[in-house]
Every structure is written in C-alpha cells, then in structure tokens.
Amino acid sequence: MSKKYIVELTQEERSGLLELTRKGECKARKLKRALVLLSADEGKVDREIATEVRIHEVTIERLRKRFVMEGLEVALSEKPRPGKTPKLDGHQQAHLVAIACSDPPGGRAKWTMQMLADRLVELEVVGGISDETVRVVLKKGGVSRGSASAGAFPR
C-alpha cells in the first residue's frame, strides 16, 4: 500500500535529527518523533517503525501528515493541550489572597480554608468553592503557612 504522506528529509533536517537523537537531552516524545521521521525517511513501513519505536501506527501516520503539511518543527513539537480551566481567575485569586492576608473574623486567631471559602462566597467573588480549591490556589500563589499576617492556615 502506498503512503499518502511521504517523509523526505533534506540533508540538513536529517543531520539535525541525528544530532538530536545522539544528544539525549530532549524530551522522550520529541526523541521518538525524531526516530520515527528518520525511519520513515529511510523508507521503513509504519508497522516496522511502530515496533522499533514502540508507538502505534496511527501515531506514525499522524506524524507523517504533520511533517508533510506543516514542517519539521511542528512535527517535532507538542500541540498545546487544553487542560482544565482554572476555578478562579486572576481577579478572584487576588481577592482570596487579600482576604487570607487580612485579620481573621472576631474571636478567631487564624483563618481556616473553609472560612476563606465561605468568605469568598459571602462577598460574591465566586458562586461556590471548596476549601481544597482555596488551599491549592493559595499554595500555587505562594501564600503559605506563616507568609500571611494572620499566620498559619489550618484546615
């Protein structure tokens, strides 16, 4: 069966890929892509390449297509992954940090994560939020135990 997307590397591309595979200083996925392109350029069939590089034949076909349609750099790089949308935007995170760094409500020595979550809802910054989300956002934002004026944040 003839392939729709034929990989034909220039001498410069081939040299660059060989150097990339010899260095061993790149991510494993990029290394595998380079090996696939080199093998495809040598005329190997997808089944043989799949066994050699330990990836699925469909992945090889997609890589061939990306190389032919978009070029070497695009074929070697990762496509951006959508990921999960953050629960709080920057403005909401700023509110959370400001509250966490303020004095706790009367009669309390420290803010708890649940109190912070409840205060965000009370102030209508968010519709609802868990104490765990509050903890994660504060941790990622660099607000840790002892960094706020009110001291530690118990659960």
Query: Sorting pLDDT into bands at 50, 70 and 90, what band is 151?
Result: very low
Whether 59 is covered by a domain: the verdict is yes
Mean pLDDT of the chain: 88
Number of domains in the chain: 2
The pLDDT of 47-60, averaged and rounded, is 95
Q: Regarding predicted confidence, which is higher, 78 or 150? A: 78
* Residue 93: alpha-carbon gap to chain centroid: 20
3 state DSSP class of 80: coil
3-class secondary-structure state, position 26 = coil
Does any domain span residue 155?
A: no
Position 152 pLDDT exceeds 70: no
> Based on the domain organization, do 104 and 131 belong to the same domain?
yes
Q: Residue 131: give the domain boundaries.
A: 90-140
Single-letter amino acid code for the residue at 14: R
Confidence at residue 135, expressed as pLDDT on a 0 to 100 scale: 94
In-domain check, residue 145 = no
Cα(17)–Cα(28) distance, rounded to whole angstroms? 14
71 and 22 part of one domain: yes
Categorize the per-residue pLDDT at 145 as very low, low, confident or very high, splitting at 50, 70 and 90: low
Is the domain of 59 the same as that of 100?
no
pLDDT tens, residue by residue, 80-121: 888 888 889 999 999 999 999 999 988 899 999 999 999 999
- C-beta separation of 60 from 32 below 8 A: no
Same domain membership, residue 54 and residue 18:
yes
